[in-house]
Structure 1
C-alpha cells in the first residue's frame, strides 16, 4: 500500500502543480478572452439597441416631415386655386365691363345714326313740301287736285 499511497500523493501533487500551471498560464488568458468577447457582445448589443432607437426617431421625424410636406402642398394648392378663381372673376368682370362699354357705345352710335336719318328725312320732307308748295303755287288747283297732291306727298314721305 505504500507504493499505492505514494502514487496517489504523487498524482495529487502533479494535479495541483498542473492546476497552478494551467491557472497561471491558461485560465487568465481564457478568462481574459471570454471577458473580452463578452464585452464585445455587450457593446454590439448596445450599439444595435442605440441604432434601433435612432432608426425609430428618424422614422418618426420622417413621417412628421412627410405629413408637414403634404399639409404644405395642400395649402399651396388651395392658395393657387383661390388665386386662379379670383383671377377668373377679375377677368370676367373686366370682360363684362368692356362688353357693357361696347354696348353703350353701340347704342350711342345707333342713336346718332337714327337722329341723322331722322334729320335727313325731315330735310327730304321739307324739300318735298317746298317742291309740292311750289307746284301748287304754279297751278291753280282745286280741292280734288289738292287732295291728290297731299296723297302723293304722303306716299312719297311714307307716312
Structure 2
C-alpha cells in the first residue's frame, strides 16, 4: 500500500482544523465540566473528612458521657445500697427493742401472776389455818396454846 503525500497532508490539515475547531468549541466546555466535577469530588472528599472528624469527636464525647453515666450510676447504686442497709439496720434495731419490751412485759406479767398465786396460796393457807383453829378451839379450849400453834403455822406458810 502506497501512501499518497497529498492525502497525508490533507488528512493532517483536516486533523489540525478539526482539532482547532474542537478545541475552541468543545475542549473548554469539556475541560470546564471536568474541572467542575473534580472540584465537586474534592469538595465532597473535604466534607467527608470533616464529617469523619466530627464523627470521631462525637464518638469521643459519647464515650466520655457514657463513662460519666456509668460512674454516676455506680454512685447512685451505692447510695441506694447504703440507704437500704441503713433501713435494714433500723428495722432490726426496732425489732430488737420491741422484743426487749415484750420480754419485759412478759417478766412483769409473770411476776404479777406469781404474786397473785402466792397471795392466793397464803389466803387459802390462812383460811385453812382459821378452819383448823376453829376445829382446835372446838376441841381444846386452851387459847394460848392455840394461838401459838396458829402463829407457827402462819409463819411456816408465810415463808413457803
Report the TM range for the smaller structure's normalisation: 0.7 to 0.9
Write the distance in 1 (CA, Å) between the matches of 2:136 and 2:37: 144
CA RMSD between the two structures: 3.2
Write the distance in 1 (CA, Å) between the matches of 2:109 and 2:15: 134
Write the distance in 1 (CA, Å) between the matches of 2:11 and 2:98: 123
1:22 Cα deviation after fit: 3.0
After superposition, what is the alpha-carbon deviation per residue over 1:34-57, rounded to whole angstroms, capped at 9, x for unaligned? 211210110111011011111111
Which residue in the other structure is 1:81 paired with?
A: 81
Write the distance in 2 (CA, Å) between the matches of 1:105 and 1:139: 50
Which residue in the other structure is 1:63 paired with?
A: 63
Structure 1 spans left out of the alignment, 5+ residues: 1-5
The answer on 1:121 being equivalent to 2:121 is yes
Runs of 4+ aligned structure 1 residues displaced above 4 Å come to 6-19
Pairs aligned (count): 147
Which residue in the other structure is 1:51 paired with?
A: 51
1:13 Cα deviation after fit: 6.8
Which residue in the other structure is 1:38 paired with?
A: 38
After superposition, what is the alpha-carbon deviation per residue over 1:54-81, rounded to whole angstroms, capped at 9, x for unaligned? 1111211221222122112212211221
Which residue in the other structure is 1:23 paired with?
A: 23
After superposition, what is the alpha-carbon deviation per residue over 1:116-156, rounded to whole angstroms, capped at 9, x for unaligned? 11111111121122122222222239xxxx9xx99xx79xx
1:85 Cα deviation after fit: 0.8
1:26 Cα deviation after fit: 2.1
Which residue in the other structure is 2:131 paired with?
A: 131
Write the distance in 2 (CA, Å) between the matches of 1:67 and 1:112: 67
Which residue in the other structure is 1:3 paired with?
A: none
The two structures have a TM-score, normalised by structure 1, of: 0.75
Write the distance in 2 (CA, Å) between the matches of 1:78 and 1:103: 37
Write the distance in 2 (CA, Å) between the matches of 1:53 and 1:136: 122
